[in-house]
Amino acid sequence: MLLIFILIFNIQCNYLGQVSQIRSDLIRVYLFPHSHDDVGWIKTINEYYFDYHGVQQIINSYIEELIKDKSKHFSQVEVAYFKMWWNEQNNTMKDNVKQLIQNQQLEFLSGGWCMNDEATTYYEDIIDQMTLGHKFLLENFNYVPSIGWQIDTFGHSNTQALFSNMMGFNAWFLGRIDHQERLEREKKKELEFVIHSDEENSIFTHINYYGFYSSPQGFDFDISNPKRNYVSNENLEQKSEGLDQYFKQQCKSYRGKILAHTLGMDFEWSNASSYFQQMDLIINRINNNSHKFNMIIEYGTPKQYIQALNQQNVSYPFQKEDFFPYSDHPHEYWSGFFTSRPSFKGYVKRIGRYFQQVKRFYSLVQMNNIICDETIIQDLSEALGTAQHHDAITGTAKQYVINDYFNLIHKAYIKMDNQISSFLNYLSNTSEILHSQCQFNESDTCDSLFYPLSQNKTVIVTIIDTKINNDGQQEYLKMLIPKNLNIKVDDELGNPIKGEIICINDQCTLYIPRQINNSKLLHYIKIMVDFDNNSKIIRLDPKLIEIKKDTKIFDKFILNYKVYLSNSSSLSSGAYIFRPIGNATDYGDYLSAIQFSGQIIQQIYFEKTTLKVWISRFDNQDIFYIDTFLDSIDISDQQGREIILQIHTDIINDNIFFTNSNGFKFQKRRLNHRESQNIKIKEKIAGNYFPINGAIMIMNKDGNSACAVLNDRAQGGSSLIQGVIELMLQRRLVRDDNKGLFEILDEQEIIKGKKLGIRQMISHTVIFYNHEQQTNLLREFQYQQDLQPLLYFSTQPSIRYSVLQDLFQEFLIKQSDINLSKLYIEPWLQKNQYLVRVHNMREEGIQKLKFPKELTFQETTLTGNQELKVWEHNRLKWSDKYPKEQNYQYKYDEVGPMRIKTWIVTI
Ligand SMILES: [Zn+2]
C-alpha cells in the first residue's frame, strides 16, 4: 500500500508528460498531439495556410500552449508550412521556438518538405524533398529528425522503408494498410514489426491503431469537429472510463504495456488551449486514480515513445514485402491513383530529371567562381518538393489545386531555364542571346528552331550532357523540324552529320545518332538551311503496311490498346479507386499504318480512331520506343473509361512479374497472392495492379527470356495474362469514389472551341533481353532515360564554350563495362560546401571511387544532415527473428550495386 502511495505521489509531483517512474503493471500511453496538414488537396497550399483556422493559426496556437506549459508536446510534420510560419516570426518568437525544440516539446516528424506519396514518386524526388526539409531543420535548429511519419499515404513502398533507414530514422509510423492485413495483424499482435527492405537495411514499423491518425473516437475536442462532446463534471467519469476501455482494447493488439495514439486530425489544433484543457481533465482523472485505471497517460512525441519501447526488450516479427495496393474495403483498391492525371505525373517526372542535371551543371559553374543565384535552385526544389505530396503527384487533388501545382513548378522552371541561358552566355562570352529549350509536348512546334530557320539563320543546339564515363556509346537526338526546308546539321568542327527525317501528317522529326563524349559537359551542333546540297540528312519514304490487333510489331510483340469500363455502382472508379466492370476490350478501330526503314531508324506508325502510335527502333536492335498520342476519351454515354496498353509476348511468366519500387529496386509480385499475409483478393484486376514508376518486367523461369517496359511517368500496371504486360495510360471518369475529393476525375482541354478530354503523348520503352546474362541491361536504359541530354537552342552563326574545370572529373573510376553510376552535386549550407551523392545503378558490380585530394569528404546519411558514423553509433537496435547473413562490407571507396552514398564535400 505504502509503495503504491509513494509512486502515485511521485507521479503527481511531476507535471504531465514527464512521468519519470511508473509502476510496471500500469499501461503507459503516449498521446501525440499533431495536425495533418496536406500540402494542397481540396484547397491550395496558400488557402490552407491563410484560412481562418488554417495552418498559420494552428502553428501559432500550439506554439503558444507549448510555451505556457512544459508538459505539453506537439509534433510538426510538413516543413513546407513550418517554413512559411517561421519566416513571419520575430526574433523573440524564434528564440522561444528554439527553446521548445531544445526541451523536446516540439518535434519534427519525417521533416520532409511534405509527406510524400510512396506509389507515384520517383526515388530521386523522394530524396530531394526529404533533403530539402532536413536542410531547413539543420540550418535553423541544428535539428535531425529520427522518426518517419507516413500516416496518410495510400500504401507503402519498399523504397520509402529503405530510405527511412538510410535517412537515419529509428522507426516509422504508418496509417493505411490493407484492411484484411490490419485485422490479421491486430489478432496476432503484429501491428509493430521490423521491415527488412533489403539485406542491409531495416526499419522498425508502427501501424497506428485502427489504421488512421485521428484521436480516439469521442475524444476529438477540436473546435472544427462538429461532433465534439466537451467534458463536464457529469460526464468526466464516464469519459475517463471510455478512454480507459479504449486503450485496454488497443493493448490487446500490441506487445508490451506501452501504447501510442495520435491526437489530432486534418487541419486540427487551431485552438490548442481548448483541446489541451479538455484532454487534461480526462488525463488527470485517469492518472490520479491509477489504482482504478491501472494506466498512465501522457503527452509525448513518437520519438519518446520509440525510445521507451526500445528499452522494453521485446522481440518483433519481421516483414520483407511492401504494402501495395492498399484497400480499405473488399471492392475498393486504391490502384486508380497510380495513373490519375498522367499529364501532371509526366510533367513532374520530366522536370525532376531535368533538375538533377541542372543542379550538377549549376554546381560546376559555381565551383568555377561564376556568381550564381541560389534562390533559383531553392525555388525549384520547393516547387518540386510540394509536387511529391500525397495529394499532388497522386492526382487526387481538385483540378484547380493541380493547376496551382503546375504553375508553381512552371514559374520556378522558367527562372531556372533563364539562369541556364545566362550561364551559357557567360561561358560562350556572349550576352543577351537567349538559349531556350523546346516545348516538352511533342505535338507543338519548336519555335526556337523553326522561326530562325525560316529566316535562313543558323541555330546552335547546345547539348548539356551530365553523364560520366559513357564515352563512345551511342545515343540518339530527336527534334521536330520544319516541313518544307532542306536542312543540314554540322558538328563542332563543321563536318556534316548523318541523320534521318521522318515526316508524318505534316510533322517532321529529325533523328541524329550521337557519340557520347564525357570529356566536357557542353557540346553543340549547328542546324542550318542546306543551300549547297551537301547535307547528310536523308528523308525516309513511307511504305503502306497493315496493322491489326494480332499483328506482330517488328515480328517481336503484339501491341494492343484496350479500355476498361468503370463500374457505375456506389463503389465506382474515382481519382483514388480503380474498379472496372470486367475485362478490357479493344479500344478504337484500326485506320492506317505505314513503315519507314532507314539505316539509323526503323519506324512503324499506325492510327486508330482513338489514338496514334509511333514505334521506333534504332540500328535494328530489339529495343522498341513506343510513343502513344492518346486522343480525347469519349464519355458522352456517361460511362467512365480507363485506357491501357498491352504488350503481348511469348514469355511464360506463370503469374509472376516484377515492378520497381519508385524506380529503385524490383519487387516480385504474384497474381492474387501476397507473400506475407493470407489475403483474399476479390477484385481480380484492381487488386493485382501495382504502381509502376520506372519499369515492369516479366521473364521465364530461367530468366533467359525477359521483357521489360519502361515508362516515362508513374502508371498502374500488371501482368494479368500469361506473357502480357499492361500499363494504364489515362482515365476519364463520370463518378467520384467518395474518398474526400468530391470531384469527378475528368481533365479537359478546349480544342477549337470544344471541351474535350485532355489529350496526351505518353512514351514507353520495350526491351527484350536475357535477364540472367544481361542483368544490368534494363538499368542502362533507365540511366539513359533519366540522363537524356538537355538541348538549348540559340540563334547565332557560331559559338565557342570555355571549358569548366571539373573537380569530380575522375571521382568515379572508369570501369571496363558500361558506366551506370549517377553523380549528383548540389550546393549545401556553406558557400564552399556541396552535397554529393553517387548512385550505382548496377544490379551487379561495384563502383570504385577515387577521392580528389583537394577536397574534403564527410560521409553522411542519405539527406546529408548527420555524419554516417554518428548515426550508426547512435541508432536503436531492434530484436527480430530475421536470419542474419554475413554480407560483403563495402569499403569507403566503393559503392555497391543499387546503393547510394552521400557526402558533404568541402572545397
Ligand atoms: Zn493527407
pLDDT tens column, 304-316: 999 999 998 899 9
Specify the pairing of strand 74-76 against strand 147-150. Answer: unpaired
Does residue 521 fall inside a structural domain?
yes
Dihedral angle over CA of 45, 51, 54, 55, nearest 10: 40
Does residue 507 fall inside a structural domain?
yes
- The grid cell for 442 is 511533342
Same-domain check for residues 722 and 705 = yes
Same-domain check for residues 459 and 574 = no
Mean pLDDT across the chain: 93
Which three-class secondary structure state does DSSP give residue 291? helix
Residue 13 has pLDDT above 50, yes or no: no
The CATH number of the domain holding residue 649 is: 2.70.98.30
Same-domain check for residues 607 and 723 = yes
Same-domain check for residues 761 and 849 = no
CA of 72 to the centre of ligand 1 (A): 24
CA of 391 to the centre of ligand 1 (A): 7
CA of 114 to the centre of ligand 1 (A): 10
CA of 809 to the centre of ligand 1 (A): 43
CA of 122 to the centre of ligand 1 (A): 19
Predicted confidence at residue 620, as pLDDT, reads: 82
CA of 142 to the centre of ligand 1 (A): 27
CA of 35 to the centre of ligand 1 (A): 10
CA of 38 to the centre of ligand 1 (A): 5
Range of the domain at 730: 543-785
CA of 37 to the centre of ligand 1 (A): 7
Does residue 76 fall inside a structural domain?
no
CA of 36 to the centre of ligand 1 (A): 6
Predicted confidence at residue 251, as pLDDT, reads: 94
Is the full-model pTM beyond 0.75?
Answer: yes
527 membership: H or E segment, kind and range: strand 522-529
CA of 213 to the centre of ligand 1 (A): 10
- Span 781-822, pLDDT tens digits: 999 999 999 999 999 999 999 999 999 989 999 987 789 999
How many CB atoms within 10 Å of residue 719? Answer: 27
Does residue 837 fall inside a structural domain?
yes
CA of 196 to the centre of ligand 1 (A): 26
Confidence bin at 71 (pLDDT 50/70/90): very high
Same-domain check for residues 360 and 486 = yes
Predicted confidence at residue 18, as pLDDT, reads: 45
Same-domain check for residues 508 and 388 = yes
Residue 442 has pLDDT above 70, yes or no: no
CA distance 788 to 357: 9
- Span 254-289, pLDDT tens digits: 998 999 999 999 999 999 999 999 999 999 999 999
Predicted confidence at residue 3, as pLDDT, reads: 37
CA of 285 to the centre of ligand 1 (A): 33
CB neighbours of 296 closer than 8 A, spacing ≥ 6?
11, 19, 22, 26, 27, 28, 29, 286, 287, 290
Predicted confidence at residue 103, as pLDDT, reads: 96
Phi, psi of 148 (to 5 degrees): -85, 150
Number of domains in the chain: 3
- Span 109-142, pLDDT tens digits: 999 999 999 999 999 999 999 999 999 999 999 9
Domain final position from 777, 795, 813:
795
Same-domain check for residues 560 and 700 = yes
Please tell me whether the peptide bond between 852 and the residue prior to it is cis, using omega within 30 degrees of 0. Answer: no
CA of 437 to the centre of ligand 1 (A): 35
Least reliable range by pLDDT among 154-163, 814-823, 890-899: 814-823
Does residue 556 fall inside a structural domain?
yes
- Span 657-703, pLDDT tens digits: 999 999 999 999 999 999 888 889 999 999 999 999 999 999 999 99
Least reliable range by pLDDT among 81-90, 147-156, 450-459: 450-459
Confidence bin at 587 (pLDDT 50/70/90): very high
- Span 374-420, pLDDT tens digits: 899 999 999 999 999 999 999 999 999 999 999 999 999 999 999 99
Residue 441 has pLDDT above 60, yes or no: no
* Contact present, 194 and 169 (Cβ < 8 Å): no
- Residue, of 99 and 447, whose pLDDT is higher: 99
Predicted confidence at residue 443, as pLDDT, reads: 52
CA of 499 to the centre of ligand 1 (A): 50
Q: Percent of the chain at pLDDT above 90?
A: 86
Predicted confidence at residue 372, as pLDDT, reads: 85
Same-domain check for residues 662 and 702 = yes
CA of 78 to the centre of ligand 1 (A): 11
CA of 154 to the centre of ligand 1 (A): 9
CA of 256 to the centre of ligand 1 (A): 30
* Contact present, 482 and 454 (Cβ < 8 Å): yes
Same-domain check for residues 458 and 584 = no
Does residue 237 fall inside a structural domain?
no
Which three-class secondary structure state does DSSP give residue 405? helix
Q: Convert 45-66 to b/e letters by CB count within 10 Å (16 or more is b).
A: beebbeeebbbbbbbbbbbebb
Same-domain check for residues 621 and 753 = yes
Confidence bin at 371 (pLDDT 50/70/90): confident
CA of 824 to the centre of ligand 1 (A): 30
Residue 452 has pLDDT above 70, yes or no: yes
Predicted confidence at residue 21, as pLDDT, reads: 58
Residue 653 has pLDDT above 80, yes or no: yes
Does residue 79 fall inside a structural domain?
no
Same-domain check for residues 489 and 605 = no
- Span 691-700, pLDDT tens digits: 999 999 999 9
Does residue 144 fall inside a structural domain?
no
Same-domain check for residues 750 and 871 = no
Domain final position from 731, 765, 785:
785
Average pLDDT over residues 239-256: 94
CA of 118 to the centre of ligand 1 (A): 12
CA of 569 to the centre of ligand 1 (A): 26
CA of 268 to the centre of ligand 1 (A): 13
Q: Where does residue 284 rank: exposed (0-12), middle (13-18), buried (19+ CB within 10 A)?
A: middle
Residue 534 has pLDDT above 90, yes or no: no
Please say whether the dihedral angle defined by the alpha carbons of residues 733, 735, 740 and 746, taken in this order, is positive or negative. Answer: positive
